[in-house]
Amino acid sequence: MSKLKSYHFSAGDSSKGAIGICARITATSKKEAVALLKQALPEEERIRPYNDTGVDYINVYINESAITAKDIDEWEVVESQFICECGEQVTEDELINGDECPNCGRAVE
């Protein structure tokens, strides 16, 4: 059973470049967080303009293959949240005998 972590991504550059994105992903590792973000990101998204005078549409394109663990700028352990190898997400209060998964009985590492 692994502790869940909260990863913050910051990619692109909205100060010097045209587009920046940020995202917060809950996962057990940086590798898993990158994979989850890539699965979630649309390739193309039409955004709602502040002011639509003269605007037919505005589309944003995202190159998910350029996103890596280097885009994680901050992360923290989510206290009292675990994920078991069996896939069960467990809070500390739900552990049996203080350290066992209520679904499969594996112990917290």
Q: Which residues contribute to the site for Zn ion (CB under 5 A)?
A: 84, 86, 88, 101, 103-104, 106
CB of 36 to Zn ion, least distance (A): 20
Q: Nearer Cβ to Zn ion, position 64 or 94?
A: 94
- What are 9's strand-pairing partners? 23, 72
Q: Nearer Cβ to Zn ion, position 67 or 83?
A: 83
CB of 82 to Zn ion, least distance (A): 9
Strands 72-83 and 89-91: antiparallel
Structure-token pair, residue 89: 């997400």
Q: What are phi and psi of 97, to 5 degrees?
A: 55, 25
